[in-house]
Structure 1
Amino acid sequence: MTSSFFRTARRWGTLAAAVLVLPVVATVPSAGAPPPQSAGAADCQPGSIPEAGLQGDVPAAERDSGRSRDGYRCNIRQLGSSPGRGGGITSVTFDHCAYIGTFFPGNLLGEAMGVRVIDVSDPTAPVHTTTLTEPAMLAGTWESLKVHAGRKLLIGAGVPFLTGAGLMSIYDISDCAHPRLLNPGPGTDLSLPLPITAHEGGFSPDGNTYWSSGTAPGLVSAVDISDPAQPKVIWQGLPGFSMHGFGFSPDGNRMYLANNMGGMKVLDVSAVQRRDSAPAVRELADMPWTDGWATQHILPVSYGGKPYVFAVDEAGSGGVKLIDVSDDRAPRQVQSIKLAINLPENQDSMVASASGGSLFAYDAHYCAADRPADPTALACSWTSSGIRVFDVRDPGAIREIAYFNPPARTGQNAELWNSPHALASIIGPPLLAAPSLAQAMLQGQFDPAQALSSRTGTLAFGDLSTDWCFAPPEWRGNQLWTACADNGFLALELSPAVYTPPPGQRSTTGS
């Protein structure tokens, strides 16, 4: 009885400590935003292994019992995989290949140091063909590893910890399984660093500019890559304290820039796009929000010719926001996509299950639409909730149609040297969920008793009782190619009963 008392006291103490360190910036829902609600749950077909609890949740009992090691799936099956030693943070694909991002310093601790190149000609049996070992690839690519399909270019910047500087390598991927380095000088030669900071990166629509953003400080750099052998910085600015990912209007003249504090800026970058001799970038709009933070990236789409963006929040249960940007000086949120575990009334359940699993709970990270104009489906990596797929044909009635949460690799931390999850698991509580927890408490929607579980007292050395899925799930007909932190590369297939590839399918992440 005494040990039970102390266990319960420790868990209550953990919750109390969490309340004391919660940020006070996220106290009320964003003004003018639609009320939070979850997307309609998927109707799982025979052969599925569905979630047992709330939509998106991996309950504490199933983490502790080992049930989560079997994973969960609904209307999706796995075709093949290439786990390696983990999937880094974000990985990308092109043609019949995948490029697996690196996480520093873990990626240096074993064989195949650098970005692994995977030939997925046969999705049931992916093959590792080569490894990219330039300094930027070894330094950790974080969220900078991106592809421009039109120009057949792969770029990654070096990001050892949150923000990197100086390193960027550019590859010709005409032969996608065997990339060829194009810039042995600036950005690759350690004696010729590029004057950039890096964390996130991406291409302009025409592929002639690679934009690099740092998180601390939020310096944004435009790098001219019209000649990939001689990349050069043509503009730099500090749009805010901490910037993240972005997307662009089709003509490249508007940048939709994610604000790590929670929100989006609209920038006029037409002078950079035109290559003015002294380009000036103007801020057209600043749209902050408190429903979610660490806004990850912005995905431009259109419905009926009218421009919108999907804005993805990496933390704070913000989910994915659909924003009307037809007036680029007054963007307006019209819809949001959340799972049930993200709702304010379920943040107590979130704490009960996510505790002991490290920094992240259940949040979106990267999304891909199946085409930029009138998309029919949106696939998103959703950290501990796996890969989630939504029917977005009608923006007013978005619903989930499928999900795949890969098997947890509990107890395999030491094998996963390229997994940020394995490294971060020295921390127990889901600290990045603090703002959503604060909102639920202040709104009287948090039941402390519901938050208590066998896991809520775990302050350090969390387990791998779920995977962390961060990379964009990229469309290939009925297939999705992606990577998760612990399971590495995954080739998945959607059931034809829930998804038919539309005419003109073209996977897009916005940058």
Structure 2
Amino acid sequence: MIRLLAGSVIAIATLAGINACSRSSSTDTTNNGGLVSLAATPKAKCGTGSRPETGLQGRVSKADQDNGLAALGFTCNTELVGSHITPNALGSVGGFKVVRYVDASGHDCAYYDSTFIYPANILDETSGVNVLDMSDPKNPVLTTSLNTPAMLSPHESLVVNEKRGVLAAVLGNPAFGPGLVDLYDISQDCRHPVWKSTTLTGVLGHESGMSPDGKTFYSASPGTPTLTAIDIADLSNPKILAILPYASHGLTLSADGNRAYLAAVGIPGAACAYALSCDVPDPNHDRGLIILDVSEIQARKPNPQVREVSRLNWPAMSIPQNAIPFSKNGRPYLLEIDEFARGGIPATGLPGSAGNVGAARIIDIGDETKPKVVSNLRLEVHNPENFGAIANDPGASFIGQGYAGHYCNVSSSVNPTIAACTMILSGLRIFDIRDVHHPKEIAYFNAPQYPRITPVLVQSNFAMAQPTFVPERKEIWYSDAYSGFYAVRVTNGAWPSN
């Protein structure tokens, strides 16, 4: 308790006294992402054993439910390896992140949040972050559930550091939580994480990021300008380094930890972003990608200053979610995805005739002062000419669901061949990104649908979690909020090599 109170005092003092950010002239490089096509990415060609979709790319219609196809699920060049699911769940049993770690003894583990939006999971007697022993991916074994404060409701903040074997999260919700940060050591036995600390060092929480060296944890809130850098070199005694005046959604760090890539939703942040239909002016380009120089934080300089490198926005933006850094033949890129739709029909998940579904894009940051969008990853259901046809599909009109994107990841940070994105009603979508200017869909997996017992939640898919990869077995792991965890294998030679 003393540590929590001390952290709170430090946080308040820091907010009152630190201005750890400056804008350089490079912010004039803000642009609108260029004139890159918003057409749907070329469809996957489904091979043997597939159960392909029946119509538009990404669509699951009421007819698909009525004829039993949705109950079987839709697959294209994929097969189910194993799962940990709750059929006919009352609330939610999956969340926003699936992460993987292989410990020093070779144990293979998956971690995923079961909360979605607290306390929806309590209806199904699940809680916290589930730990799965994936030694046999055909038979995932639940070894424990983590129920410390942040793990009970990490929202989108669950993160693993592979170098140090650290599992971390900050207490969050759709706007922001109190900022309690949980730290675990998973380096020796990932099946049984060792709790190290719970501290009020995050100020306010929702999302997070961690430097590749595993020594700096960033707590982020899209609802308040309180991006917080925390020194976690000593997992038992984390300390606030700086609080930055940014309302950040997801954020990631460069390989050296010197750059932070913010998916910014603008100010007033969540108050507008989560209205979905809200479209307030954005004269300072607070929505989109913001690149920050955080090298002084990484170097642990006293009173660290943060410099803004550049900003970028793009056509058809909805709510920027996260930007994953990777390199291709030595050139740096980001894979950014927007969540949900924007400018649509109030209190629904529908974009409306003039609305936007942001979906995903690849951004060239070879010149970090002038980032530019070079391609988009979209499905046919994301484009305006199809909005009328899909409006009455199950789940399409439910606020916070719909035909839209939520999270992406890449198979490797260096020369990745594929990207995988969870696209809510459309399930897990897999893309060949070897040519960053011309990505193409190569596979998908949309889990079997189960009837909803709770009337407000219609039978549909709810793929929201950031996926993770097992390249040596051509597997992708993700979770669906309505059913649970899935280990999926890419088949028919669809996973490309370099």
TM-score interval w.r.t. the shorter chain?
Answer: 0.7 to 0.9
Alpha-carbon distance in structure 2 between the residues aligned to 1:501 and 1:129:
34
What's the counterpart of residue 240 of structure 2?
233
SS in 2 for 1:271: helix
Deviations 1:181-224 (A, max 9, x none): 112xx51xxxxx22521100121121110111012113200010
TM-score, structure 2 as length reference: 0.80
Q: Match of 2:385, SS?
A: helix
Q: CA deviation at 1:34?
A: 0.6
User: Are 2:254 and 1:249 aligned?
Assistant: yes
Q: Which amino acid aligns with 1:328?
A: E
User: Counterparts of 1:30 and 1:275 in 2: how far apart (Å)?
Assistant: 34
**Residue type of the alignment partner of 1:373:** V
Q: Which residue of 2 aligns with 1:422?
A: none
Counterpart for residue 367 of structure 2: 327
Report whether the alignment pairs 1:60 with 2:62: yes
Which residue matches 1:309? 334
CA distance in structure 1 between the partners assigned to 2:476 and 2:176 by the alignment = 29
Kindly, what percent of the aligned residue pairs are identical? Answer: 36
Give the C-alpha shift of residue 71 in structure 1.
1.0
Q: Are residue 294 (structure 1) and residue 319 (structure 2) matched?
A: yes
Partners of 2:477 and 2:40 in 1: how far apart?
Answer: 25
State whether residues 34 and 314 of structure 2, in contact with CA within 8 Å, keep that contact through their aligned partners in structure 1: no
Matched, 1:474 2:469: yes
Say whether the 8 Å CA contact 2:144–2:192 is kept in structure 1. Answer: yes
Give the match's secondary structure for 2:132. Answer: strand
Aligned to 1:485: 481
Q: How far apart in 2 are the matches of 1:306 and 1:31?
A: 18
- Determine helix, strand or coil for the equivalent of 1:182: strand
- Write the letter of the residue equivalent to 1:180: V
**What residue in structure 2 maps to residue 150 of structure 1?**
163
Residues 163-312 of structure 1 aligned to structure 2 (within 5 Å):
163-174=176-187, 175-183=189-197, 186-187=198-199, 193-239=200-246, 242-261=247-266, 262-312=287-337
Separation (CA, whole Å) in 2 of partners of 1:342 and 1:167: 36
Alignment partner of 1:126 is 2:140: yes
1:475 and 1:358 map into 2 onto residues whose CA distance is 33
CA distance in 1, matches of 2:51, 2:316: 31
Quick one: distance in 2 between partners of 1:379 and 1:291? 21
- 1:333-348 equivalence runs, <5 A: 333-348=373-388
Question: Do residues 107 (structure 1) and 134 (structure 2) align?
Answer: no
1:22-51 residue CA offsets vs partner (Å, 9 max, x unmatched): xxxxxxx95623121111111101211000
Q: Which moved more, 1:285-294 or 1:304-313?
A: 285-294
AA aligned opposite 1:361? G
Give me the CA root mean square deviation: 2.0
- Structure 2 CA distance, aligned partners of 1:181 and 1:131? 12
SS of the aligned residue for 1:295 comes to strand
Give 1:141's aligned amino acid: P
Rounded Cα–Cα distance in structure 2 between residues aligned with 1:42 and 1:343: 17
Query: CA deviation digits over 1:268-306, x for unaligned, max 9?
Result: 111101111000111121212341221110111112211
Give the gaps of 5 or more residues in structure 2: 1-30, 103-107, 267-286, 342-356
Q: Quick one: distance in 1 between partners of 2:181 and 2:305?
A: 24
| Separation of aligned partners in 1, 2:236 and 2:413 | 30
- Describe the SS at the equivalent of 1:56: coil
376-385 or 193-202, which moves further after superposition? 193-202
**Corresponding residue number in structure 2 for 1:21:** none
5+ residue gaps, structure 1, are 1-28, 188-192, 414-425, 427-460, 503-511
How far apart are 1:314 and its partner, in Å?
0.9
Contact persistence 1:360–1:383 (CA under 8 A): yes
Determine helix, strand or coil for the equivalent of 2:326. Answer: strand
**Separation in 1 of the partners of 2:311 and 2:126?**
43
SS state of the match for residue 363, structure 2? strand
CA contact (8 A) 1:201 1:213 kept: yes
In the alignment, the residues of structure 1 paired with residue 484 and residue 235 of structure 2 have an alpha-carbon distance, to the nearest angstrom, of 29
SS in 2 for 1:352: coil
Letter in 2 for 1:194: T
- The offset of 1:100, in angstroms, is 2.1
Q: How many residues align?
A: 418
